[in-house]
Amino acid sequence: MDFLPQDVAVKFRERFSAEPLLVRAPGRINLIGEHTDYNDGFVMPAAIDYGTYFALAPATDGVTEIFSLKFNETFGLDLDGEIIPVKNPSWVNYLLGVIHQLKQHGRLKPFKCVFGGNIPIGSGLSSSASVECGFAFALNELNKLNIDRQKLVLIAQWSEHNFVGVKCGIMDQFASMMSKKGHVILLDCRSLAYSYSPFQLSEHSLVLCDTRVKHALVDSDYNTRRQECERGVARLQKHYPEVRSLRDVDEQMLRNHEGEFEGKEFNRCLYVVQEIARVQSANHDLKNNNLAAFGKKMFETHRGLSELYQVSCEELDFFVDIAQKHTGVIGARMMGGGFGGCTINLVRNEAIDEFITALTKSYQSSFGKEAGIYRVALENGVSIVREHDLNMIL
């Protein structure tokens, strides 16, 4: 079930009879640069108009309580006690990791919290990063800790690594926190230097097509990919001691030592090295307004993710195949961690309806499943929702 800021606010007032601070934390898309962030490469994400919404206020009874609208469940905790991951309910761990880190910046006041959102879970739109980022931002505000946004990004990522157990890169949390409406971010994941580019599509739109599948073992496969890249780097370091990550490697260096890699390591590294270069040249395409060239690179990324990095699945490949055969689609690829979730498609405006119909029909007839379709707008990063904004939504 989907929840909007007003649902969260209403529920908060009903449960706690107080006026909350309301925070909106968006999900994200990524135009290009997949599985490059934890290899010190480049990514091109943007926040979207789907999010997680938090309502918070200091607890007058001194008891901290967090209520998840999605799970219809309350979790109570003692902020002064030891903060460690819990087995049940697992949704709490995203938040506990944030509390663990924020406590190192000052004492946290007991609080009440209600949260919920409308990001489809498991669709590659980073609902988890939005939960971590929104909560970190809200507690920072409530306790006047004055932690800057970039530091909050790292706190959110720390929570995912240490309390959730996914060794993710920095992209999702960065996009949720730092995005700018109507723009994409070009982020250097090594230095965290970033710039915004206006994203004007004029005759095209972004359409996300959700396979609505999430295959098992996703998190452990994600961590395995990361390890394979790290092993590849370790092998290359014997020959090139200056190499710190795949960012420092080019295709020739890899090919010179192809025989020394084990298992799938070579393919994994090859994909990443190609993708890091591809993002840089896609950035030039964008600057030159050459959407056709940009779209072609999206298809290339998909091929790499599917064949070399092997994080796609039958359903995602099926979607990209349909897109590639459709004259109205100039670029498409799977997006996010993979093994299910969405494809991102660059579609000519006049072809959108027809493309969506063709895709949903063939998915239904070939897989017996209903595709999710989201047309997204690019939004600001985490922000406070004012009463005025709420009235506009109502």
User: Which amino acid is it at 212?
Assistant: R
Rounded distance between C-alpha atoms, residue 49 and residue 4, angstroms: 11
Identity of the residue, 232 or 336, whose beta carbon is nearer to ligand GLA in the bound complex: 336
Q: Check residue 228 for interaction with ligand GLA (CB under 6 A).
A: no
C-beta of residue 275 within 8 angstroms of C-beta of residue 301: yes
Identity of the residue, 248 or 275, whose beta carbon is nearer to ligand GLA in the bound complex: 275
Can you name the residues that pair with 254 across neighbouring β-strands? none
Q: Check residue 275 for interaction with ligand GLA (CB under 6 A).
A: no
**E strands in 217-360:** 329-334, 340-348
Where in 317-336 is the site for ligand GLA (CB under 6 A)?
336
Taking CB under 6 A as the criterion, the residue among 7, 40, 132, 172 binding ligand GLA is: 172
Q: How far is CA 383 from CA 138, 208, 377, in A?
A: 9, 24, 16
Q: Check residue 348 for interaction with ligand GLA (CB under 6 A).
A: no
Give me 351's structure tokens. Answer: 């072809």
Binding window for ligand GLA (CB under 6 A); candidates: 19-27, 31-39, 227-235, 295-303: 31-39
Identity of the residue, 20 or 41, whose beta carbon is nearer to ligand GLA in the bound complex: 41
Shortest distance (Å) from residue 129 CB to ligand GLA: 7
Q: Check residue 35 for interaction with ligand GLA (CB under 6 A).
A: yes
Rounded distance between C-alpha atoms, residue 254 and residue 246, angstroms: 10
Which listed residue (37, 40, 172, 317) is catalytic? 172
Rounded distance between C-alpha atoms, residue 81 and residue 86, angstroms: 14
Shortest distance (Å) from residue 103 CB to ligand GLA: 24
Binding window for ligand GLA (CB under 6 A); candidates: 29-37, 196-204, 207-215, 273-281: 29-37
Identity of the residue, 64 or 126, whose beta carbon is nearer to ligand GLA in the bound complex: 126
Binding window for ligand GLA (CB under 6 A); candidates: 30-38, 107-115, 135-143, 290-298: 30-38
Taking CB under 6 A as the criterion, the residue among 83, 168, 246, 273 binding ligand GLA is: 168
Taking CB under 6 A as the criterion, the residue among 5, 26, 337, 340 binding ligand GLA is: 337
- Residue 311: CB partners within 8 Å, gap ≥ 6? 35, 221, 222, 225, 305, 334, 337, 338, 339
User: Which amino acid is it at 350?
Assistant: E
Backbone phi and psi for residue 183, each to the nearest 5 degrees, phi listed first: -125, 160
172 is a catalytic site residue: yes
Q: Check residue 120 for interaction with ligand GLA (CB under 6 A).
A: no
Rounded distance between C-alpha atoms, residue 211 and residue 194, angstroms: 31
Identity of the residue, 147 or 344, whose beta carbon is nearer to ligand GLA in the bound complex: 344
Rounded distance between C-alpha atoms, residue 183 and residue 378, angstroms: 7
Can you name the residues that pair with 58 across neighbouring β-strands? 111
Q: Under the rule (CB under 6 A), what is the footprint of ligand GLA?
A: 34-35, 37-38, 126, 168-169, 171-172, 336-337
- Give catalytic residues, as residue numbers: 172
